[in-house]
Amino acid sequence: MVMSAKFASRAFHTRTDGVMLSQVQLPLSPATKPFGGLEALSTAYFTVLAHPAFPHHSVRIKKSRFCDGTVDAYTGYIDVKARHLFFYFFESRHDPARDDVVFWTNGGPGGSSSLGLFMELGPCTLKTPDNTTFNPYSWNEYANLFFVDQPVGVGFSYADHGEAVGTTEDAAKDVAAFVAIFFEHFDQFRHRGFHMAGESYGGRYLPVFASEVYDQNVKLEALGMAPINLTSIMIGNGCTDDITMFPAYYDIECKNVSGPPVLDIACQKWFQAECLDRRDYINCQTALQFCTSSIMDPFVASGEPSTKSAALGKSNITLNLSVRSQIEHYLDKPDVRKTLGIEPSFGNFSRHSMEIVLAFGASLDEVFPTSYYIGALLERGVRVLLYVGANDWICNWVGNEQMSRELVWTGQKAFTGEPLREWEVDGEVAGVTRAANGLTFATIDGAGHMVPMDKPKVTLEILKKWLSDEDF
């Protein structure tokens, strides 16, 4: 579907230092592409894309020869009035003209997606603070791939006057608008399968983001725009429902599920009453602090995260601090910033934003169970993959598996009726899985919290099978 001629878009060319060079009007009509292919973009300046359907949003994008070396890469900003969200985009190594599009976000809240880019599934991996190494297991082996620093204030994203986002629902509006503008202007990606993926707090983000994209399609079609072909969400080690995750900590810590028992706990009822039923901020925070002191403090004191990292997966609870500092050092290099198009006035890069942590905490964003969104997406034909490192603790497989069985949707009986069975990669058992009617749950043996970091080959196989709609 091509937009009618009564709508117009505008493209502004700006140097990466922010100086305006020219303005070009690009009318949309059945005979004219909205902008053209990505190959039309410059490496020297940003092209700014906007659309009258989203008067407060625009996208700055430039070609950036960065990270991969075998395919084209692009970077830019999603501009929402005075808020600016940074993104990376890499074309598929396999068949960029045909392959699906995958959107990736890290969690936190407040974590930069540079973690996923440089430590997990991106086209390059940081081995030293100054150089990257080609990653043969990058997800752009089979898909065109986005990494987005969101919400505003995370990574290279910034606000002109300190504006902030404090809920996942508000963040979802900016993400959905960006997706619509991108697909409308670069129509070579129209009607491709679009998959939204992430991990950890992504269990909160992704169901809400995908729901916003799905609901927005009604608006797009009313304006004569092509709807987004939202195909699936892929949640890695997600925390989507605290009420099922808290009891799972007991299983992980007190039973021989992934490691030896550590302690007993008792906080579920308090959390249910104050955080979910009453949504009383002060009492909920008190309940969370009690649960933290009961669950996390003894676990950390036990030495489990560090002394048994090999068994639990190196990304189980604490990330490698040296790798984190390497990312910050690398993204603060002047030549790298010039390539990416980072504005000179931007300060030091930070992989994690405490301001976002506090803002989302103040709104009790984390306690709302996004399992309701997952069930609604499944009802609408959007496939859902829940993959979990078997040795993760913080968003463990026990809680995720229970949440998947308790999802309320018309396919629940068929899904729960399937037994957990082993699945394999190259003839070796990789974990256990259960699947029915578009919902798949899978564990990955030997992996911790960041599965693509611990098991890159296995995770790439998961992606390949998922994009091809193959059984595990």
Active site residue 392: yes
Please answer whether residues 312 and 391 qualify as being in contact, where contact means their C-beta atoms are separated by less than 8 angstroms: yes
Our answer to whether residue 200 is catalytic in this structure is yes
Three-class DSSP labels, the chain: CCCCCCCEEEEEEEECCCCEEEEEEEECECCECCCCCHHHCCCCEEEEEEECCEEEEEEEEEECCCCCCCCCEEEEEEEECCEEEEEEEECCCCCCCCCCEEEEECCCCCECCHHHHHHHCCCEEECCCCCEEECCCCHHHCCEEEEECCCCCCCCCEECCCCCCCCHHHHHHHHHHHHHHHHHHCHHHCCCCEEEEEECCHHHHHHHHHHHHHHHHHHHHHCCCCCCCEEEEEEECCCCCHHHHHHHHHHHHHCCCCCCCCCCCCCHHHHHHHHHHCCCHHHHHHHHHHHHHHHHHHHHHCCHHHHCHHHHCCCCCCCCHHHHHHHHHHHCCHHHHHHHCCCCCCCCCCCECHHHHHHHHHCCHHHCCCHHHHHHHHHCCCEEEEEEECCCCCCCHHHHHHHHHHCCCCCHHHHHCCCCEEEEECCEEEEEEEEECCEEEEEECCCCCCHHHHCHHHHHHHHHHHHCCCCC
Longest dimension (CA), the chain: 67
Cα–Cα distance between 441 and 246 in angstroms, integer? 19
The catalytically annotated residue of 57, 185, 352, 449 is 449
d(C-alpha 132, C-alpha 387), whole Å: 27
Q: CA 181 → CA 21, 61, 170, distances in Å?
A: 22, 12, 18
Q: How far apart (Å, rounded) are the C-alpha atoms in residues 153 and 327?
A: 17
Catalytic site includes residue 215 = no
- From CA 369, how far away is CA 372, in angstroms rounded? 7
| Residue of 68, 99, 392, 454 with catalytic role | 392
Residue given tokens 């707090």 in the structure block? 201
Q: Which amino acid is at 202?
A: G
Which position among 64, 200, 315, 404 bears the catalytic label? 200
Per the CB < 8 A criterion, the answer to whether 84 and 159 are in contact is yes
Catalytic residue numbers? 200, 392, 449
